[in-house]
Each structure stands twice: as structure tokens, then as C-alpha cells.
Chains A and B, each alone.
Chain A
Amino acid sequence: MHLVVCLKQIMDPELPPGDFRVDAQKKEAVRGSANLVISVFDENALEVALQLRDAAGGGKITALCVGPESAVDALRKAISMRADEAIRIREEEFPALDAYGTARLLAAALRKLEPADLVFCGREAGDWHGAIVGGLLAGELQRPFVSLMAGAQRAGDLFVLRRQTDEGWETVECAGPAVISVTNDDANQPRIPKVKDNMMAFRRQIPAWGAAELGINAAEINGPNAALEFASLGIPKSERQCQVIGGESVEEKAARLAQKLADLHVL
């Protein structure tokens, strides 16, 4: 069983609002002192893959990341969590990638890595929240796409997936090979690596593939999303004024809050 997990390295999404700035010219967030981390749902995806492999008692997990040199850290993190292989796709060779371009790069890498039974993505990246690369990748590879998975199990030739829906949960059976996207769940909280795995990962060389290795023409990589004009990026202002409900005792505060709720016609 070969499982491939696509990871994205992003600026720490939990950067406090007070430290968050945008560069209106470059139309991106200013990194400042923020760390780079694996996009959180991608870590959930890796965890689901790890659990699936461990339950099967064997198999291989390859972590893939389209990113700059710094993305090696994200891939090392994946190795420290016990992914077997990691490959970086040199983003620097493909400036201004759109979602189609990213999906096509991943698809090209996957063709080199075949056979892959399941390809995992996070439900969306924690910076741009696109939630589209997984579906586009499935399209590129002409494979079924199942999104918002919390967990996966193997049953013979089929994968049994647990999907989050608006109503609750669905169990989806899917024949491999397929592309699935993973959402967070308490069952797929990313594991903390053991220290020896951390140190092993630190020494690991991470191969990088570029246009030459992937047999791709960098100029033609982008798709229709590149035609969208990115007009502006700004920080919205909140103008609500909060009325603090005070009181001498909890009971008094509670009585006033109840009155407030009645005034709002929600009681």
C-alpha cells in the first residue's frame, strides 16, 4: 500500500491579530517573526495516512510538498512523524503558481511515484483557504475525489472513509486509487514525534524535483485561476462596541444578562 500525502507549508495561522500585517503591494501577509508550519489539515491528513499504514501493518507513505527551500522543514516534520519518504517540488522554478499549477505539479510527481493507492490532502490550506487543489488533482489524475474525511480504514480492496457532512457523518466506500481530503477530528490529531525520530529526520536529506525531473514546461503550468486578477488584500475592521454587563454578584450579572436577552427578543 502506497499512500501519498500532499503538504503545504504556511505562515503560522495562529499568529495573533495584533501581529498580523499585510503587504498591500505584494498582496500577501508579512511574515515578521511568525514561524512556518505545516498547514494544519495537512497534518491531519498525514495522521490519517499514518494510522491507515500502521493498522495495515505495513506500506509506504510519501510526503510531497510544493514549496521553497524552507519547505524542507515541513517535510522533515513529516519524516519525524514517520512518513517513509519526502520529496520537495521546487516552487522557485514555477513563480506565481495558481491552484491548477500546483495540482499539475503534484500530478506530475505522482505519476513518477505510481502506484499510489490513496493521495491525501488537507481540506484546505490554512492561509488562502482555497480548498480546491485536492479536487483539481483528482481531475488531473482522473481519479475519484472524496473530501472532508476524518478517518480511513482498509477493507479488502476498498477504503472505508468517514466523511463529515453538514448533517453529521457518512461512511463512504471507495476503490483505490483515489484522492481524498481530510478535515480535523479528535481522532486524527497529529502525533507528537518521538525525539529519536526528530533527530533522525533532522539528518535526512530531502530530494527536490524541478521541471526537468518532472518533465514539465514551467511556462505552461498554470491554469484558468491564473487569469483571476488579485485586486487587493486588506485587513477588515470590526466596529462593534461591547456593552459590558457588570454587577456586584454573579446573580446580579445573570439577571441583567437575562434582561438583555429579553431586550434582544431572544428569550
Chain B
Amino acid sequence: MTPTREVYFNIEHIWVMYVLFAASLAIFARGWYGLWRRWRMGQPAARTGPLGARLGRALRQVFSQQTLLKRYRAAGIFHALFFWGFVVLFLATTVVFIHQDLGIHIMQGWFYLIFQSLIADLFGAFAILGILMAFGHRYIYKAKRLKPDTRNDATMLAVILVILATGFIIEGMRIELTHDAWAAWSPVGRAAGAALAGRLSMEAMRGLHRAVWWFHAVMVFGFIAWMPYSKLRHLITSPANIYLQNLGTRGALQPLDLEKAERLGVSRLEQFTWKDLFDLDSCTECGRCEVNCPAHLSGKPLSPKALILDLQKYMHGMSMDAAGAAADADAPSPLVGPIIHEETLWSCTTCRACMEQCPVMIEQVPKIVDMRRHLVMERAEFPDDLQAMVRSLEARAHPYPGAQASRTDWMAGLKLADLAAEPDAEFEVLFWVGCAGALNKRNQEVTRAIAQVLTRAGVKFAVLGREEKCTGDPARRIGYEFLFQQLARQNIQTLDRFKVKTVVAACPHCFHCLKNEYPQLGGNYTVLHHSEFLEKLVADGRLKPEGGEQQGTVTYHDPCYLGRYNGVYDAPRNLLGDAQGAPPAEAEMNRANALCCGGGGGFSFMEEKSGTRMNQNRARQLLATGAETIGVACPFCMVMLEDGVKSVAGEKALRVLDVAEVLEQRTRG
């Protein structure tokens, strides 16, 4: 006898099931159609092709559950359990459909025994285990990131649990009633059946089997129908969103064509791209973004999760008649202000922790910047401190209002090729100093250290001196794309005039901007952060960190724009390691999970008006390592953390040094 089973055993009037199924599908389709219409309001975005590259990447990421298993491993494991449970049970159901409704009899033989019986049985059990763990995580462990609104979650989990449990009960009863010869292949189902067999007569069991079967079917159809109307929709949207992920340069904001653009930024929901709107429905409300957000952690009115969910709620509640109506550019925004408060938008440091954490690749930062663009460029309404910064950028091409230093002050006593003074000087690499490195007193010391180390290594380098202007990064992050493009174009002109090919930038913000955003405007250079370049000099033996004084134990703080934005985690660590003879101690949050110092996205030029101070929060984590020195690789981090350390632990608690300064001390003759 070929191993198989009867599909509709003990069930009559099977047409009723088909009617119910059709009804659930209709509700399901209607729900998705509503969502689809809302996504379609959005602006065009090239996010669907190339199919091959996207599909391969997405399948790998989805089926390996890697984004979930990477962090919060326990939660990742139970999600993987029910993810795989669902996948297998869905496949098993598909097999039934092919076997029964298409009449292609595949549900038999070894395939029936191994996949349809054993594997489906075990994965069903895994899924139950996953669900129970999820309950525990929410209601016993009470994970902070899953608050608020866990009531919906409870219903959802309960429904899934009931579906899975009734599935095993039906299977178990069928095994008992049919004296299934292959029962051993369905161990969990058999156990369920055996447990019931002792308590019920065969006749009662037959009746109960029928009742539970219909109950199970109704629950499943209900679940399907409910999907597009609840966060269960993520079963479909999340993998789809992973397919639609940004394949372009990481962290590079989309440029605006200022000559042609009718709108500058987003003041109405439908001005987002369709992909932005799709993001909103991909959210699983897992809260990973929120618990890694420096703004949220310091009590500011921003949670990336709440931002996405507020937008989602607004989108779902929006009247489709109002959408798409040609909006007067001067009309008050129904979105920025009423739905997403200005203060929320001005709380973001653009540190990208939310995007790094999000398992379904929602892009929060570009949305925030889009809405900032509206505030800054269309309404000209933004915080006073940032207005002062903008004025300074316009008049003096640096973001430090009231700065008394000049761009060449730090050079005093150093022999350098300053292209502003000697345009014909020969050089191999251009040392991009940055406004902070030139104008901020503490960072001038770092700039000098870099110049000294480069000189020691015999690198032929030049600086732009007075010809250097702000890269435009602070303007771009606050949404002032217009000013960014002005500054960037001027810098590209200057760099091209001096035929610059390789740039070594001392500031991760400059570095990111020059490397990843200038190509958008036609500026193409090989750009390295100084930590990368110095690491190479050490590796090549051009610098020998063997002399000078050691710094004692060192920890390292990852700058967002070096680490998360550009994946440079090891070069600065290696430099510190070389200089100390031991790798740096790691802080509580490090590398891709590092907590922002609070200096990005315009915050270096703005007072924190609410909550606790972000730099102090990070300083506490770094102090907890017990290190004697904090290594940094960014001028904003330098200022933020020096201040943070002093406020938290007092004047002389420990030193904050740039990796270049550590190297400079170790390469003294």
C-alpha cells in the first residue's frame, strides 16, 4: 500500500469549505487592494529591478532569518521557529491543494511520509514552541521594545496557537479513527490522538473531529481574511520590503533636482515614494529601532517606531478622495505638524541605528530628512540654532557661528603644502581637514596630529587651506538640500581644479559626503577616512608605532558615519591595537550597534532642549569599560564625548583622544 491519507476524511458538504475559503479570500483581496491603492499614491521609485539580484538577496536574507538572528538572538530564534513552521505548513497545505484539487497525486509515498507527515508535524510543533516563547517574551519577560499595544499581539498569537493546536488535534483524531498505519511519521499528532483516545468513545471522537475540523478551517480562513487589516500583513509585506531594499549607496540621501522639482521635501503623505509608503505597512512593531535610538533613549520626542506607526495610521485613515488633489505649495501641511510634530523631526541625529536594526529594512532616516526638507526649504521654519548655522554656512562656508579661528590657524609652525597659497604644489593625496578640524580648538590638535603623522610616513600631501569649504553635510542632514548642493558644487570645482584624485578626510561626516554623495553631483574621488589611510601606512611599515608613551587601556567609540554608514569598524580598532599592543575594550553598545554620541544631523550645532543629554548617556557606557582613554575618530564625537565625560565623571576622569593622536604619540622618534 502506498503511504498517503484521505484528504477530507470524515468531512461532508465539503463545498461549504470552498465557499468559506472564497469569502475569506475576497476579504483578504479587498484588504490588500485598499493598501495597494494607498501605496500607489506615492511617487515613483526605482525599487523593483533587477529581479535576479534582488530576489537572490531577498531569499537569502528572508530564509536565513539573518537580520533577526544577528541581534536579540532569543527573539530571533523564536521568530525563526514560527517562520519556518509557517513556511512548512504553507507548503504542506499547497501539497494538499495540488493533490486534491488539481488531481496531481503527489501526496504519497516517501514524500508523504517524510515531508507531509514528519517534517510538517515537527515544524508545526516548532511553531507552537515559538508562539509560546513569544508569549513569554511579552507577558513574562515584558520586553520594553514591544510596548505599547500588546493586546493586539495577544489576540494574534492566540489565534495562531489555536490554529496550530487544533491542527494537531484533528490530525491526532484522524490517526486514531483511521488506525493510520503511518502514525509513527507524525509523532506529535499521534501523541495528541493518543491523549484523546483514552477519554472518548470512537463515536464521540468522530463527532468532535468533524467539529474541530470546521472550527480549524474557520479560524484559518479568518486568519487569512484578517491578515491585510492587522500587522499580520507583515507576513507578506516584510519579505517584499526586503526584496525592495535600497541597493544603492548606503546612507546617501536622494538628491533633489532643484531646478525641476515642484516640491522640495514632503509635506503631504502622497509626496513620499510608493516604497516609503510600503515601508509603513512592513513594520512588525518589533521596536528594535526604538531601543537603539539615541533620541528615544534620552527622552526626546522621537521614536522611529512611533514615527512609522503614526504615518501608517494616518495613511490607513486617509480619505482617498483628498489624496492626490493638487496641493498648493503654500497650503498648510496636513502631515508635518499635525501628524509628525516638528520637534520629533528635530530630534533625529541621523545616526542610522534604526535602519541598522530594522529587520525588514524600513528606511526611517530618509523620511525624516524628507520632512525636514519641507520645513527648511518650503517653510523656512527650523530651530534658531540651526538658522544661525545656516547663516554661517552661507556667509562663511562653515557651520560655526561666531568662530574666531581661521582655517589656517592650525597650520602654525607646520610645513605644509597649502594649495590656497601654493596652487602648484605637488601632492599625492589631499588631506581634507573639515571645518571642525580647522576651527574647533580641540580638533585643531587632532588635525595637527594627522598632519604630523602623514609627514612622518613621508606622504606627499596637500591641504586646501582657505579654499576648503564645508562639504555641505550639516546642511543636507537638516534638509537644506539647496545649500548642500551649492557648497558641494563649489568644492567639486575646487577639487577638480587641483586635479585631486585621492582624498583623506579627517571627519567621518565629510568622508561620507565626499565619498558617497559627491558622485551624485559629478565629484568622483577615491576617498578614505584618516583611520583607513593611517592603518594602511602602519601595515605597509611606513609608520612604526613603537616609541612614545602608551595610553593605558583604551576603549573605542564608533562614529555613526564611519561605522554604520560606511562599515569602517576595524581600521580604527587596529590602529589602537597597534599602538597599545592589545585590542581596545568594547563598550556595551559597539560597532553596528554603537550608541550615537548625539552630534550628528545638526545636533553639533544645536542645544538639546528636552530629555537627558545623549553625549552623557554614551559617555556612561564608555566609562563603564574602565578604560583610561576613549579613542574616537570623529571631531563631533570628540567634542560631544569630552563634554559628556566631564559632566558625568568630572574634569580629569579620562582622556578622549583621536586614533590619530594615539598613533602620533606612538610614532614619536
Contacts and interface: CB of A to CB of B under 8 A. Distances in A.
State if A and B touch, Cβ cutoff 8 Å: yes
Interface of A: 12, 14, 16-19, 32-33, 35, 37, 189, 191-196, 198-199, 248-250
A35 B329 contact: no
Interface stretch (B30-38, B273-281, B372-380, B590-598): B372-380
A192 B482 CA distance: 13
Nearest to B401: A14
A221 B420 CA distance: 41
Contacts of A192: 380, 382, 387, 390-391
Nearest to B262: A196
Contacts of A250: 651
B329 A196 contact: yes
A195 B378 contact: yes
A16 B392 CA distance: 13
Contact of A16 (B382, B387, B390, B406): B406
B408 interface: yes
B494 to A, nearest CB: 12
B325 interface: no
Contacts of B396: 12, 14, 35
B264 interface: yes
A249 B395 contact: no
29 contacts: A12-B396, A16-B403, A17-B404, A18-B404, A18-B408, A18-B409, A19-B406, A19-B408, A19-B466, A32-B466, A33-B420, A33-B466, A35-B397, A192-B391, A193-B380, A194-B377, A194-B378, A195-B264, A195-B378, A195-B482, A196-B264, A196-B329, A196-B377, A196-B378, A199-B259, A248-B652, A249-B650, A249-B651, A250-B651
A110 B247 CA distance: 60
Interface in B259-273: 259, 264
Contacts of B408: 18-19
Contacts of A189: 384, 387
Contacts of B397: 35
A68 B396 CA distance: 21
Given A194-B377, A196-B264, 6 more contacts: A12-B395, A14-B392, A32-B466, A192-B380, A198-B482, A248-B652
Interface size class of B (residues with CB under 8 A): 20 to 34
A37 B651 contact: no
B258 A195 contact: yes
Q: Which of A37, A193, A196, A248 gathers the greatest number of chain B CB atoms within 10 Å?
A: A196
Contact of A37 (B395, B420, B482): B395
Contacts of B377: 194-196
A249 B653 CA distance: 11
A248 B650 CA distance: 11
A18 B380 contact: no
B380 A194 contact: yes
Interface residues of chain B: helix, strand, loop or mixed (majority): loop
Interface string B361-396: 000000000000000011110101001001110011
A150 to B, nearest CB: 17
Contacts of A17: 404
Contacts of B482: 195, 198
Nearest to B466: A33
Contact of A194 (B379, B404, B650): B379
Given A195-B264, A195-B482, A199-B258, A14 B466 contact: no
B181 interface: no
A258 B66 CA distance: 62
A17 B379 CA distance: 35
A249 B652 CA distance: 8
Interface residues of chain A: helix, strand, loop or mixed (majority): loop
Contacts of A198: 482
Nearest to B405: A16
Nearest to B467: A33
A35 B406 contact: no
B572 to A, nearest CB: 31
A191 B382 CA distance: 11
Contacts of A35: 395-397
B402 interface: yes
Nearest to A193: B380
A250 B647 CA distance: 12
B406 A18 contact: yes
Contact of B404 (A16, A32, A199): A16
A191 B380 contact: yes
Contact of B402 (A14, A37, A191, A193): A14
Q: Which of A191, A192, A198, A249 gathers the greatest number of chain B CB atoms within 10 Å?
A: A192
A35 B469 CA distance: 12
Contacts of B652: 248
Contacts of A37: 395
Interface string B290-323: 0000000000000000000000000000000000
A234 to B, nearest CB: 20
A17 B409 CA distance: 11
Interface in B400-423: 402-406, 408-409, 420
Contacts of B403: 16
A19 B404 CA distance: 10
Contacts of B409: 16, 18
B179 to A, nearest CB: 79
Nearest to A192: B380
Nearest to B483: A195
Contacts of B384: 189
A221 B258 CA distance: 45
A32 B651 CA distance: 40
A2 B258 CA distance: 33
A201 B391 CA distance: 17
A10 to B, nearest CB: 11
Q: Which of B390, B396, B402 gathers the greatest number of chain A CB atoms within 10 Å?
A: B396
A249 B392 CA distance: 36
Contacts of A33: 420, 466-467
A79 B467 CA distance: 29
Contact of B395 (A14, A191, A195, A196): A14
A17 B264 CA distance: 38
A195 B405 CA distance: 30
A189 B404 CA distance: 22
A33 to B, nearest CB: 5
B493 to A, nearest CB: 15
Contacts of A195: 258, 264, 377-378, 482
Nearest to A253: B651
Contacts of B405: 16, 18
Contacts of B380: 191-194
Contacts of A193: 380
A208 to B, nearest CB: 24
Contacts of A194: 377-380
A175 B157 CA distance: 76
Contacts of B390: 192
A198 B395 CA distance: 15
A196 B395 CA distance: 19
Nearest to A38: B395
Nearest to B259: A199
A52 B467 CA distance: 40
Nearest to B408: A18
A196 to B, nearest CB: 7
Nearest to B652: A248
Nearest to B381: A192
A191 B377 CA distance: 12
A32 B465 CA distance: 13
Contacts of A249: 650-651
B508 to A, nearest CB: 25
B394 to A, nearest CB: 8
A33 B382 CA distance: 29
A245 to B, nearest CB: 14
Nearest to A248: B652
Q: Which of A33, A248, A250 gathers the greatest number of chain B CB atoms within 10 Å?
A: A33
Interface string B241-260: 00000000000000000110
B45 to A, nearest CB: 23
A12 B406 CA distance: 13
